[in-house]
Structures are given as structure tokens and as C-alpha cells.
Structure 1
Amino acid sequence: MSPRPPARPQGKRPAPKAPVQKTSRPKSADPSVALENDIGISARIAAINLIEAALAKRGGFDEVSAGNEFNKLSESERGFARALSLLVLRRIGQLDHIISKKTQKMPPEAVRSLLRIGMAQIFFMQVPDFAAVSTTVKLAERDNKTRPFKGLINAILRGLIREGGLREVNPKKLMPDWLWQRWLQTYGEDNASDLALTLTEEPATDLVFKTAADRDALLSDLEGEAIGEVNLRSALRGDLRHWADYEAGRWWVQDIAAATPVNLLGDLAGKTALDVCAAPGGKTLQLIHKGAEVVAIDRSKGRLKRLEDNLKRLNVTAEVHNADAATFDDPRTFDVVLVDAPCSATGTYRRQPDVLWGTKPADIAKLADVQHRLLDTLAPKVKSGGDFIYCTCSLEREEGETQILAFLRRNKDFSLVKPDGATLERGGIPEASVSSEGWLRLLPHHRKGGQDGFFIAHMRKS
């Protein structure tokens, strides 16, 4: 049976069915300013490679962006390629719908790739129209598969410029049909539309601070909005290593939804905590600054390196193990056990739109089995009276509600802890995200400006 759709935030208007998308950026009247050199071409080729990798398989985007060829590009080229590819992945359903309306027969994939990057530059980036069209046509000329279509590409892009923009967004066209149908059934049409439209919004950067005093002292410098007790949403863009007090280690980057599981907990002074699947370390840092003595484990050496770098920058320590939680041989029990379980990550689509296209329905069932085994493995590691927090950055019921209902049936000595008003205020948690059962279902549109999609269950052992 489908769950009851979460309550919409009070006072929130329903998502518009066809909002107007307009370009307000200035257009260059002088075509000589267009970027037509080899550097511009290289960055656009890299963007196409990133997009194609994301569509081909789960994790493909990260593989290409970490590869040698991509890293041979200059910093500005890499930045342009990432920005362009992510824009296309946010809008690919919309862009392909427009291509289908402008052609009698859908052109080959290689041609669609060029049209996508051309449209994204014209309507969503500070790229002069002439440069966007010219470089896209030049790319078409370089390949035998796309050369015969260069006239079509030129005509479609110039025609769209004359029309003045991409005027219509149908929410269901923004995402894969199978996911739209799942979210429609699970959350209802209004919520599904809001979820889809959130994809078009560039996410802000959320930070967590060691203390409220640290946060409040940097509100102005970081152009920040305070959230809850120690969180901040910054309006800044660019390399965060250059932001105020980065090197001083007073804060770290963590989406407000990802910070919520630990925000449910109070003072942990004198307590022990096991952080499972801990890398890149945001929750580990939160647990430490709440006073806990933390054991952090993760099976990925590369991701653990990021955790250790964060510990060093913030000048704190934890007991870190490169281990698989399912086989972690440690007799200790803990006051807090937290597992941010491996999942489909469909809730992270605001920052990683490639997950929508790289994830397949079969992945969800496979990952749900992993989560089931993790929960049963970790339950005995919770002390009597201790806290057990399970969370996933997934919007899929099988990785959240269904998982916890089954766990509670198998483990009668655990019960859900529903957050009270003080906990919600301390964590800056929207009331719309709290279910009647007591778990949290954080949807991206529950917070103004968005947040990652998360499921969180706070349980206590009797």
C-alpha cells in the first residue's frame, strides 16, 4: 500500500504546471567576443563526455571527472565542462522534448548531445548566442556521424534564439518516466511535480559549524542564513577553500538534510558512537563536536582519505577503520550507532542530477537487501538504552519506510523516537518532514531553497 503523501509545507502554493523560463542575461551584439578557440572546443567535448558517461551507467560521471583526460584540462575548462554537463543533466528531459518537437524524426544520440549543450549554453549560461551556436556547429563538423546534421543543428539553435527562450517546463518531462511514476504513486501529483521542478534550481551550499558562536560570527562574511543551532546556508559561489575561515577549520560543508540525523541527538559528552559508512566525514565531525568518542568505519579507502583530511583540518580525532560494516569484527557496543546506508541516492539529484539517469529500478532492490543485512548486523552493537539511527539519501520507500517497518517487526527491543518541538527547532527541521509514525521523510521542496531528499529513523533500544 502506498504511503500517505507527506503534508505540504503550510502556506506553500502548489507547483505551477508550466512555468515560464526566461533568459535575463545580456546578449553580446558583437560576435567577435565569441569563444571559438581550441580551449572552448575542448571544454565542450569534455562536457559531452561527462553527460554520455552519466547516461551510460551509474557512477560514470564521477569516473570521467576523475580520469586523466579530464584532469589534463585547465581549471577553467574543467569548471566550464562540469557546469555545462550538470545543467544539461538537470534539463535533459526538457531539452529532449524540445528537440522532438523541432524534428520530424528524433536525430541520433550524438546529434542530440550537441543540441543539448547548445541549448543549455544559450538559455542557462553566460555564453553569447553566437559563441554557443558557432562552437556547437564546429563540433558537428569534427565527426562523420554528426557532420551531415550541422545545418539542422544550426537551424534549430538559431530558431530557438529567435523565439526568445524555452518557455515551458512540464515537470514529468524533466526526469526518467519510471522515476516520475514511482514518485507520483508514492507522494502524489503535487509533491511529484515539486520534486521534479526542484531539479531546475541550482542548490546553495550548506555549512555546519563547531559552535553557534562560530556560525554567528561568520554570517556576514559567508553571506549566510542561519538554520537551526549550528547550520548555515551560504549564498557564495566558487572555490570554498577561499571562503572565510576555511583553513581555520571552523566549519565544513554538509547539506542540511545530511546534517539532520545527528541534529536529532542532544549532548553526547562522555558517550561512544559508531559511525558506519562514515566517509566523507560530515556526521563524524558532528558527533565529535557533540562530545562523543567516535569510531568511524568505511569500506572505501579513497573516501576515508577525505574523512581523515577533514579531521586534520578541523584539528579533531576519531578512531578510523577501513572496513566493511558487515564483517567488522569488534566486540564493543556503543551509546550511538549511526548508519548512512548505501542506497540509490535518488535524493541527491539536486547536486548530482546524473543519479536520476544512471540509476535503474533493479538497483533499488539490490541495495534494499544490503540495507536489510546492515541493520541486522549493527543492531547488537547498540547498548541497552542506546540510540540507533538509520538514514538513506534516497526517495524510494523500499530504502526507507519499508526497511524500518520490517526491522522493527524483527527487533522488538527497538522503538521509534519521534522528535519533539525542541529537537525540530535545534535542527532546523521542517514540520512537513515529520511523519505520524515518527520517522523523517525530508523532501527537497519541504525547505525554501531546497535540501537533499532523506529518510531518517531514530530508534532506541529498550
Structure 2
Amino acid sequence: MVLNDEKSRGKSRNAKPTRPAGGSYRPVPEPKAGLDARIAATKILGAVVDKKTPLDGMLDAEHGNPAIRELSEADRSLVRAILHSALRHLPRIEAILDSLLDTPLPDGARSLKHLLIVAAAQMLYLDVPDHSAVDLAVEQSNRDPRNRRFAKLVNALLRRIGREKEALLESVGALPCLPGWFLDRLTTVYGRDAAHAIAEAQLQPAAIDLTVKQEAQVWADKLNGKVLPTGSVRLEKFRGAIPTLEGFDDGAWWVQDAAAAIPARLFGDINGKRAADLCAAPGGKTAQLIAMGAEVTAVEQSQSRLKRLEGNLARLGLKADCVLASLLDFHPEKPFDAILLDAPCSSTGTMRRHPDVPWTKGPADIAKLAELQEKLLRHALTLVGPGGVVVFSNCSLDPLEGEDMVARVLADNPDCRRVAIVAADWPGLEEAITPLGEFRTTPAMLADEGGLDGFYACVIAKI
């Protein structure tokens, strides 16, 4: 089925004549609208899948992949949409492509495979007209010396996807859209049904959640949202620019996933207490602690992230003592009453927002991050005095970064104890409270409300 396309490639009517070194003229095709965006999407998909490069950094308009920086804002949005769809549904797209090939693609044809995935994602999961996706994919093939001989294959395969779209989607509808290692891990930890529910939940983009300073229901009414069990206001259908919403300029609220709003609330009444947010940027949890009445020290080791945190607090009209320091080097003169440690993690609970995470992380990353978290937690416990409280949290779905690590730390610190979270205090989220009294959310929870990120949180008191 792999065909050589040398004879079928015609010359563009709009070609511009150029004189190469040899002296004769050769037509150079005019760029087609949207082609650069597809080329950028193909390159970045390859970097994610083959090189495990995080997606967000590459999509940054100022410092991202060179192919992104040259695009218009509209084309950058299109690239993001294509990549999010491709990564969310990658196993199903690959299964469809494999089913339509008489023989597998050559081992070295990685760029061709990424090209096909990008085109198929548009046809199967986006509102891009089939003819446009096919035409641009064929053009892209012809312009790439590595893929030129496969242009006829690209055309035939994608046209067949267009004709058989519904049947093809139905044939892969039960296939979980997660990499094998991750699905196996979720199945071991949560069981098969829960693992498949998590895989299905990540196919839906996350809604916009807001944490408000006060009067959540009032703001839900103003912004056409609803109040969740976490106290967050969810905007299910809003797709515009956040700064245009009422209350943004006044600092009445900030964007924060509903699950991410849970850890700060676990302190209860901390009005007037000395609190520290130890991995503070971008500042959502810091803002919560300040709004709850605490005197907050925000610690962040990245200067750029600390600057972002300070900017966010300024918009909200909130103040904290912002400290640039590595947590392990942070030794305050006086112990704190309360410490929030939302530790760096694998971020596997944020798949709805970051669909590249399962494809860029692996078991080795989880194990390495769990070691770091243990060091950070052990140090954090030294920063509170007797009667002080530490809330540890992260957005990983793996117990290695949560329950297992915390149990190990508690076993080595007899002066610390776990404070059980009471399920009755969290109506609507009772299923998220574990038998030990810890929080464990997954993307499949609150499914009728639009889901939420996967999060782990526990409360540790110093005796």
C-alpha cells in the first residue's frame, strides 16, 4: 500500500520561479493557508511522544518551539487544539491507522506517523473539514523529502477515514486512551473499572473553576456558573478570555481547579495564624490562605515564578511575605503554626488540562519525584512547632507520591500524627475520603458536574 508519488506530483499554478545554483528555474510552491500550523503540530507531537518534551513549554508564544513562535495567535490556538485532541485520543487514532494499513509503516517513518495522527485527529475529533485536513496533509507530505514518496498513501488512507469515520470510531470506542504503563498502574491501584473511568474522564477538557474571596453563590449567579462541593465556582460553558469576566479587574476571584482548592481548606480556622506556603507559585493556595486570615509567607525557588506569584497577588489586592529560596535551604527564625506543602509531582492527576503528561512521564519519574517529596515533607515538619499543622498535597494519582510516602514519613516521626479528614464535612465528595482519612480525588469523580483533577492531600499534626 506504500506507493511512490514522484509521477503524480504536479506544479503549483501560483509557483514563483527561482534560479538555483545550477542555473535553471524551478517552481517553489506558495504556502497554503494553515499548512504551517499543521507542520508545527507534527513537529511538536513528535517531541512529546518521542522525546518526552512537556507540551506547555513548547506552546509558549514567546519562548516555545520556533515553529510556534512564527504563527499567528489563531494558528497557535489551532495547534493547541490539534495536539490536545491527538494526545487525548492517541491510542484510538493509532489503532485506526493500524487497521487501515496493509503493512506497518517503516520503523524510521516517525514523522510520517505523526503527520497522519495530526490529520486524523482533525478529522475524527475536531470540526476541521475533511477535505482541508486531507489536502494539507498531502501537501505537507510532498514538501518533506522523507515523506514525499508516501503522499499517495497519505491521501488514500485519510480519504478512507473520511468515508468510514463513524464505523472506525465505533470500532475503537472501548479502547482506553492512556499509555499501557499508566493504565496498568491505575488498574493495580484503583481496579479495572475505576482505571477505565479515569481514562474516559480525561477525554473531556477541564471546565474553568474559580476560587472566590467570598460569596461563592453570588459570583456563581453573576457569572452563570455553579458552586461545587469544594466551594469553587465552575464555569462550564465559558470559552472567552478570562480577563473579560466581571470581577477579574477587582480581584474578586482567581482561576484554580476545584481539587486544587481543597488543601488550603483542610486547615480549618487559621485566622491570625502564621502560615507558610512552601512551593507557592503561581499563588492560588497562597491567596486562599491570605483570604482565610492567615499571615502568610510564600516560598518559591524560581525567581520568574515568584515574580508571577507577586503579580497575581497584586491583582487580587492580597499581600504575603514572598521569599526566594529553595525549600530545603529555608530555615525561618520562628516555627510556623501552619504549613502548606503542595509538592512538585508527576502531575498525572491533571490529564484533563495537560494531556501530554501520561506520554512524557513514566515510572522512573514517579519514583524520583516521590523521593524528592519525602525530603521536602521531612523538612517541612521541622518548620512547625508543637501543635502546628502541615497539609501535604500534590496532583499525582500514584500512591508512591502520596499515601505510601506519607506513611513512611509518619513511621519515622513519632511526634507527628495523621489527622483524619471527616467525610461528613465534605458533602458531595465523601467518596474522596480514604479509610485513613486522607483526600484522594480522581478525574472520574464529580462526573455529573464535569469532573475535577486528581489530587492527594493529608493533614499532619505536630504533637
TM-score by length of 1: 0.87
Q: Distance in 1 between matches of 2:333 and 2:50?
A: 43
Alignment map for 1:5-24 (pairs within 5 Å): none
Aligned partner of 1:321 in structure 2 is: 323
Q: Which amino acid aligns with 1:187?
A: Y
Q: Distance in 2 between matches of 1:75 and 1:113?
A: 23
Aligned partner of 2:206 in structure 1 is: 203
Alignment map for 1:139-154 (pairs within 5 Å): 139-154=140-155
Q: Is this contact kept in 1: 2:230–2:262, CA < 8 A? A: no
Secondary structure at 2:89 match in 1: helix
* Correspondence for 1:419 among 418, 421, 429: 421
Aligned partner of 2:95 in structure 1 is: 97
1:244-292 deviation per Cα after TM superposition (whole angstroms, max 9, x unaligned): 2211211111111111111222222110111011111110000000101
Aligned partner of 2:375 in structure 1 is: 373
Aligned partner of 2:160 in structure 1 is: 159
Deviation at 1:37, TM superposition (A): 6.1
Q: Which amino acid aligns with 1:334?
A: F
Aligned partner of 2:362 in structure 1 is: 360
RMSD: 1.8
Q: Distance in 1 between matches of 2:252 and 2:217?
A: 11
Q: Distance in 2 between matches of 1:349 and 1:221?
A: 29
Deviation at 1:446, TM superposition (A): 1.4
Alignment map for 1:19-30 (pairs within 5 Å): none
Alignment map for 1:103-182 (pairs within 5 Å): 103-107=101-105, 108-165=109-166, 166-169=169-172, 173-182=176-185
Aligned partner of 1:451 in structure 2 is: 452
Deviation at 1:151, TM superposition (A): 1.4
Q: Is this contact kept in 1: 2:54–2:357, CA < 8 A? A: no
Secondary structure at 2:220 match in 1: coil
Q: Is this contact kept in 1: 2:338–2:388, CA < 8 A? A: yes
Q: Is this contact kept in 2: 1:264–1:423, CA < 8 A? A: no
Aligned partner of 1:27 in structure 2 is: none
Secondary structure at 1:450 match in 2: coil
Secondary structure at 2:113 match in 1: helix
Deviation at 1:238, TM superposition (A): 2.8
1:78-132 deviation per Cα after TM superposition (whole angstroms, max 9, x unaligned): 1111111111111111111111111133322211111111111112222111111
Greater RCO (Cα-Cα under 8 Å, separation 6 or more): 1
Aligned partner of 1:342 in structure 2 is: 344
Q: Is this contact kept in 1: 2:230–2:258, CA < 8 A? A: no
Q: Distance in 2 between matches of 1:249 and 1:42?
A: 38
Q: Distance in 2 between matches of 1:278 and 1:362?
A: 25
Aligned partner of 1:84 in structure 2 is: 82
* Correspondence for 1:270 among 258, 269, 272: 272
Q: Which amino acid aligns with 1:278?
A: A
Deviation at 1:298, TM superposition (A): 1.3
* Correspondence for 1:239 among 241, 245, 251: 241
1:325-380 deviation per Cα after TM superposition (whole angstroms, max 9, x unaligned): 01113222111111111111111111101110110211111111111111111101
Q: Distance in 2 between matches of 1:64 and 1:370?
A: 25
| Structure 1 residues 222 and 141, CA gap change in structure 2 (3 angstroms) | farther
Q: Which amino acid aligns with 1:49?
A: K
Aligned partner of 2:255 in structure 1 is: 253
Secondary structure at 1:174 match in 2: coil
Q: Distance in 2 between matches of 1:237 and 1:304?
A: 28
Which shows bigger deviation, 69-78 or 357-366? 69-78
| Structure 1 residues 106 and 225, CA gap change in structure 2 (3 angstroms) | farther
Q: Distance in 1 between matches of 2:51 and 2:304?
A: 20
Aligned partner of 2:303 in structure 1 is: 301
Q: Distance in 2 between matches of 1:458 and 1:279?
A: 21
Aligned partner of 2:14 in structure 1 is: none
Q: Distance in 1 between matches of 2:255 and 2:274?
A: 24
* Correspondence for 1:192 among 191, 195, 206: 195
Q: Is this contact kept in 1: 2:209–2:235, CA < 8 A? A: yes
2:447 aligned with 1:437, yes or no? no
Deviation at 1:221, TM superposition (A): 4.2
Structure 1 unpaired stretches of 5+: 1-35
Q: Distance in 1 between matches of 2:162 and 2:224?
A: 35
Deviation at 1:171, TM superposition (A): 5.5
Q: Is this contact kept in 1: 2:299–2:323, CA < 8 A? A: yes
Which shows bigger deviation, 52-61 or 151-160? 52-61
Secondary structure at 1:446 match in 2: coil
Q: Distance in 1 between matches of 2:128 and 2:104?
A: 26
Secondary structure at 1:294 match in 2: strand
**Equivalences, count:** 422
Structure 2 unpaired stretches of 5+: 1-29
Deviation at 1:39, TM superposition (A): 4.1
Q: Distance in 2 between matches of 1:441 and 1:347?
A: 10
| Structure 1 residues 246 and 49, CA gap change in structure 2 (3 angstroms) | farther
| Structure 1 residues 57 and 253, CA gap change in structure 2 (3 angstroms) | farther
Aligned partner of 1:46 in structure 2 is: 40
Aligned partner of 1:330 in structure 2 is: 332
Q: Is this contact kept in 2: 1:297–1:320, CA < 8 A? A: yes
